[in-house]
Structures are given as C-alpha cells and as structure tokens.
Amino acid sequence: MDYKENHKINYKENQSVVTPIGCRNGFSKLLSEWEQRSADQADLVSTDIGVHKTDHIKLMALSKIYHLPIDELAGSLLQQALERLEAEMPYIPGSKVIRVEEGDEIYEDIGPTPRYLAAQKLVREEHNRKNK
C-alpha cells in the first residue's frame, strides 16, 4: 500500500489536510470530550442524598463494571430521571385562555409544571443572591 492509499486528503477552504486513515478526528474528538467534561464538571454541586441499600449495591455494581465513581453515576442517573420527570409532567388545561394559535384557544396550564418552574426560578434567584 502506498502513501496515497494510506492517507486521506481533506479539502477545506482551499487547504488540504493529510490525515492518516486510522487517526481521523482522533485528537479533535478527544479534545471535544475533554471540553464537554470540563464544562459539565464546572457546573457540579456536591450534595448528600440517602439511598436504599439495594440501590447503593446497584450503584456499586455499575461503578465496578464501568470504572466510574458512584457519585458520578448517581448524578447522571438523577439528571436523566429529572429530565424524564419534567417531560412527563402533565399539561392540565385551566379555564383561562392565554393565547390563540392558528385559531385554536390555548388554555393556561394548571398542572404541576408552572409551579415547578416558578419554584426553580425562586431557588435559582436565592442561590444567585447567596453566591454574589
């Protein structure tokens, strides 16, 4: 196999970049992952939560097979659970029309979502005041 067969030439804005076939985007992907992980880590807040013994055993097992810290696994699982919970919060239409879209009346949501969002906003504002 000669040089041309072993390398790929990428043309971008009149520039050619020669990349060995097995190394395409290797470092850029790694750097991107590090950037994402760094950003994720910067946003972490430590908190203590109680879990049932059986759930702790499950977390320990996941930690063993994935070689990740239990707190990182628990945080990831909690994040996924909260995202799913938010997505499944029901919209419960009230009696007040808040807008009209394409001729259809849209009623206020009297379900848990507005209260949840308001509580989030309040907690965020309290947190920001404390950390100034």
Tens of each residue's pLDDT in the chain, 132 residues: 444 444 444 444 444 444 445 555 678 888 888 898 888 888 888 889 999 999 999 999 999 999 999 999 999 999 999 999 999 999 999 999 999 999 999 999 999 999 999 999 999 999 999 988
> Model pTM?
0.65
User: What are residue 107's phi and psi, to 5 degrees?
Assistant: -95, 150
- Tell me how far apart the alpha carbons of residues 5 and 98 are, in angstroms, rounded to a whole number: 64
Residue with tokens 């394409």: 102
Cβ-contact 31, 21 below 8 angstroms: no
